[in-house]
Amino acid sequence: GAGVSQSPSNKVTEKGKDVELRCDPISGHTALYWYRQSLGQGLEFLIYFQGNSAPDKSGLPSDRFSAERTGGSVSTLTIQRTQQEDSAVYLCASRPGTSGALGEQYFGPGTRLTVT
C-alpha cells in the first residue's frame, strides 16, 4: 500500500514569508509525528498527534510553528515569518496507534525547506 507522502518535496522561501508543509499518513494510522532534521543532526521532535487527543506540542521551537491534523488524517505544519535557522528537512512519520513499539514509525521522504 501507499506509504507516508509529503509535499512539497522542496520549498525555497524568503525570510519573513509563511510556509505550509503537508503530510499524508498511511491510511488507518492514528499516530502522526513531525520532526526536523538539520544538516548532520539527528531528528528533533516537533509535535505528536494521537487520534482525537490533544496534540503534544512540546517540541515546537517557537510560537511561529503550528500544526493541525484534520479528520484524523492529513496534517499541515505551518511556519510563520520564516527565519534562516528554520532551514532544514521536515519529516513526517505515522504509526498504527498506541499498540506496538513507539519506534516502529513509518517516515515520509521529507520536505527540504530553504529560507533565503
Partner 1 sequence: EDQVTQSPEALRLQEGESSSLNCSYTVSGLRGLFWYRQDPGKGPEFLFTLYSAGEEKEKERLKATLTKKESFLHITAPKPEDSATYLCAVRPWEGAQKLVFGQGTRLTINP
What minimum distance in Å lies between the beta carbon of 59 and partner 1? 7
Q: Where are the alpha helices (DSSP H) in 45-109?
A: none
Residues in contact with partner 1 by CB under 8 A are: 4, 33, 40-45, 48, 50, 56, 58-59, 91, 93, 101-110
Which C-beta is closer to partner 1: that of 50 or that of 76? Answer: 50
Which C-beta is closer to partner 1: that of 14 or that of 39? Answer: 39
CA 96/CA 99 separation, integer angstroms: 7
Which C-beta is closer to partner 1: that of 17 or that of 38? Answer: 38
Using the structure block, give the residue that is written with the C-alpha cell 528533533: 44
User: Distance from CA of residue 55 to its chain's centroid?
Assistant: 13
